[in-house]
Amino acid sequence: MTFASLGLIEPLLRSLAGLDYQTPTPVQSQAIPAVLKGRDLMAAAQTGTGKTAGFALPLLQRLTLEGPQVASNSVRALVLAPTRELAEQVLQSFLVYGQHLPLSCYAVYGGVSINPQMMKLRKGVDVLVATPGRLLDLYRQNAVRFNQLQCLVLDEADRMLDLGFARELDELFSALPKKRQTLLFSATFSDVIRQMAGELLRDPLSVEVSPRNAAAKSVKQWLIPVDKKRKGELFLHLLQKKRWGQVLVFAKTRKGVDQLEQELLAIGVAADSIHGDKPQPARLRALERFKAGEVQVLVATDVAARGLDIDDLPLVVNLDLPINAEDYVHRIGRTGRAGATGEAISLVCADEVEQLAAIENLTQQLIKRVDEPDFIPDHRVPLTAVGGQVLKKPKKPKQKLIPGAAKPAGKGNIHLGRWFEEEDAKPKAKAVRKVPSFGGKPKGGKK
């Protein structure tokens, strides 16, 4: 099968030829004809399998061949994305695929000034990629109108809900025309998203080219048990011991990101970071430096779990496991893209066993454990089983008492000397403090 056989027009085929895209991926081969026909679509595919082209190519063709010229402050196609990084990536895809078409594409998101965005929208935009919060701000200020909207795309809608955009989405949906084409593309679909799709989509075609919530088979996964306080030390040890090249590292908190970045810089490793507290220009600059090879280690929170498309990234490291199991699939999907292979290593402490079990339940596979000498944890990570089960720690065998020997100290034994009637009495026993005798009767005592 070729892209030409899917019915794409010559300007799009020319762009794809320039990118050396020869054969459609499974999701593209199923999605593109359906979108060209105007069908609503709900497509689930592993990250890195070409989802963006699956909706961008047919949308660009329909906008070129159908409908009037875009009016002032209007948009003809709207793509909603959860993060600035994903919005920017999707915009770049539209610009590259549509480079030979007379269409305008633009992205709006927070973290930058709203005024230039309002000025750009005055002329109207054929394709607008947006994060929900900034789009709602623009709509409330009458900077954008939806009367010409032909198609709505929800890219990674589950992540939008995770980030707390439910209220913004409801307000935006109520402002959109009822008669439109709606497309849902994601690597994972929660039950809540499926319920939302039932309310927004009309007789949708469902496309699933991989098992639900599956991790890419091209990514080799394993974990190293370690105590929580030694995670940073272990990462630095592995970076030097294994002579890693470029590495994308995910940490749970912004503080954790900044701390690891400073530790790397202190030992002379070129590092940068991405998290929600950083202004958008700084985040884009960090990503561009990483893509250009100027940075060896990029440390990020889950704002980078979706939307970072980095060619030939060999390794992803989870310094901390994510709170949501679905984010694990997206994190490790930053490597092993477009048929390449990659590795995903997680540094897991005992406190994270519940998250580990949830990930293994979601992906229906146990992650191989590999101990690192000199970093064997004092607090062992409990064993898990497929299905999300955490196996209980084996009980320690009871110590046998030798007749006449003192009772061994241990958890639950309270030693209070002679404050109790019997040496081994429980704390609830009646306390009897013996007053020492000095050869006479206690003062004030009875005869």
CATH number at residue 311: 3.40.50.300
Calculate mean pLDDT across residues 117-144.
96
Cα distance between residue 61 and residue 57, in whole Å: 6
3-state secondary structure 390-422: ECCCCCCCCCCCCCCCCCCCCCCCCCCCCCECC
Please indicate whether residue 402 or residue 360 has the higher confidence score (pLDDT). Answer: 360
Give pLDDT, residue 192: 78
214 and 46 Cβ atoms separated by less than 8 Å:
yes
Residue 368 tokens read as 């191989």
Residues 148 and 285 both lie in one domain: no
Residues 165 and 228 both lie in one domain: no
- Flag whether 428 is in a domain: no
Strands 75-80 and 105-108: unpaired
Residues 194 and 270 both lie in one domain: no
Residues 83 and 110 both lie in one domain: yes
117 and 77 Cβ atoms separated by less than 8 Å:
no
Hey, how many other C-beta atoms are within 10 angstroms of the C-beta on 299?
29
Give this prediction's pTM: 0.63
The percent of residues above 90 in pLDDT, for the chain, comes to: 51
Helix runs in 143-253, H state only: 157-162, 166-175, 191-200, 231-241
- Flag whether 420 is in a domain: no
Cα distance between residue 57 and residue 93, in whole Å: 9
Residue 426 tokens read as 């429980």
Domain that residue 85 falls in: 4-208
Cα distance between residue 288 and residue 258, in whole Å: 19
Domain end call among 142, 174, 208: 208
- Flag whether 444 is in a domain: no
Please indicate whether residue 162 or residue 138 has the higher confidence score (pLDDT). Answer: 138
- Flag whether 431 is in a domain: no
Band (341; pLDDT cuts 50, 70, 90): confident
Domain end call among 366, 390, 414: 390
- Flag whether 103 is in a domain: yes
- Flag whether 418 is in a domain: no
- Flag whether 403 is in a domain: no
Residues 255 and 117 both lie in one domain: no
Domains held by the chain: number? 2
Residues 196 and 305 both lie in one domain: no
The percent of residues above 70 in pLDDT, for the chain, comes to: 80
Residues 166 and 51 both lie in one domain: yes
Residues 227 and 288 both lie in one domain: yes
Residues 33 and 151 both lie in one domain: yes
Residues 225 and 204 both lie in one domain: no
Band (272; pLDDT cuts 50, 70, 90): very high
Provide φ and ψ at 347, rounded to 5°. -100, 110
Please indicate whether residue 328 or residue 77 has the higher confidence score (pLDDT). Answer: 77
Give pLDDT, residue 210: 58
Domain end call among 390, 405, 436: 390
Residues 51 and 190 both lie in one domain: yes
Cα distance between residue 439 and residue 437, in whole Å: 6
Residues 293 and 162 both lie in one domain: no
Kindly report, residue by residue over 218-237, the tens digit of the pLDDT.
Answer: 789 999 999 999 999 999 99
Kindly report, residue by residue over 62-111, the tens digit of the pLDDT.
Answer: 999 987 899 999 999 999 998 888 899 899 999 999 999 999 999 999 98
Cα distance between residue 120 and residue 93, in whole Å: 19
Strand partners, 184: 42, 154
- Flag whether 376 is in a domain: yes
